[in-house]
Each structure stands twice: as C-alpha cells, then as structure tokens.
Copies of this chain bind each other. A is one copy, B any other.
Amino acid sequence: MPKATFFNLPNDKRSLIISAAMKEFSNANYDAASINQICKNSNIAKGSFYQYFTDKLDLYVYIMTLAVEEKIKFFSAIISEFHTLTLLEQIRLLFRKGVEFANKHPEYAALGEQFSKEDNELAKLAVTKEGNKQAESLFIQMILNAKTKGEIDSSVDSLALSLLLQSLYGAVNKYIVGKLENASYEYNEEDINSLVDSLLNIIFHGIQNKVD
C-alpha cells in the first residue's frame, strides 16, 4: 500500500500520478515500465515518488488493485441476479458486460491485457495475492450449477468447458483492446456483441450439421 503521504496529496496531483502510472503499466510490462517516466509524466521528482511508495512493486500492486476493484464494482450488479438466469443468459451477460467495461474503461482493460502477459513472477504473485481471485472459479461454479439444473448435458466436461470459456473471454478482451489501440479504427460495440453471440451459439448448439 502507498504511504500516508500519498493519500495526503491534493486530489488532482494524486490522480495525475495514478493516471501516469496506469499509462506506463498498460504500455509496458512490470520490468520494462519506468519509474523515471512516471515521474516525468506526472511532474514529480524521483525523491517524491519514494515518499509516496515504498518501491516499484508497491505502486504496481496498488494500480492493479484499483483496476480489479473497478471491474468488480462494474460486475457486482449482474452477478447478484445470476440466480434468475439460465447459463446461456449468464454467459452472454458476462461477455457483453466485459465488452462494455472495456469500452467504458479502456485504460483498465489495457491494464488487464498487459497483466495477462506479465512475465515477472514476483509482480504476478503480489497482485494475485492481494486481489481475490474469485473470477477464475466463477465459470466452474456456473457450469456445475447449470448441470444440477439440467440445463446442459451432464456428459460435458466441466473443466474443458471452463477452459474454453476462459480462453474465449481472454481472446475477446484482447481483440477489443487491440481495436481500441488503433485510434483511427472506428470502434463498434455492436459488431463485437454479435461476434460474441456467434461464439456462444457455437458453444451451445455445436457446429455439426444435423441434417446428415
């Protein structure tokens, strides 16, 4: 956690530092990100930085935690009403909400995309230790729940389906972040949503021709 001095800072100065750090950590991985750059872009001296944070890792964990909290806040509303929905509806909502989140908070989405590629084990561990990793088991819970309700075929391998959904969710995010990086590209949320629908349609109904 940042030191008390950091939280005593005037709001605009503090948020300037945060946004500079977010920008740096979404453009470079942990080791490549530069504290010097963050200082330069937020107009603070190197010495000041170390009055706010104990070290680089301290800042990194703080920034990533902010992103996670924002995402949880964004998703909490829909998760609470999951029990009223079918698995298909749950998954579609999850994916669409993910698209919406990336659209509304591209900085956080870019941060997450960068984190998914992170090499530095220390940095990865520090972040996952801090945040609750409920997300990774969410799919499994949903799948098991749907099985008991008889919504999906019991012969389906739960682990495989979870892996499939996770990798697909990651792919969609990566796709969106890639689009958003191209400022020139005209981004269309509806196009992505119809792609998501196509994907879910495949997963739920399969691709094999039933006529033969």
Q: A residues bordering B, Cβ < 8 Å?
A: 28-29, 31-32, 88, 117, 119, 150-154, 156-157, 159-161, 163-164, 166-168, 170-171, 175, 195, 198-199, 201-212
Contacts and interface: CB of A to CB of B under 8 A. Distances in A.
B28 A160 contact: no
A198 B32 contact: no
A202 B164 contact: yes
- Number of copies of this chain in the oligomer? 2
Given A28-B119, A117-B117, A208 B151 contact: yes
Contacts of A159: 195, 198
B203 A202 contact: yes
B202 A156 contact: yes
Contact of A205 (B151, B206, B211): B206
Nearest to A155: B201
Contacts of A152: 207-209
Contacts of A32: 31-32, 119
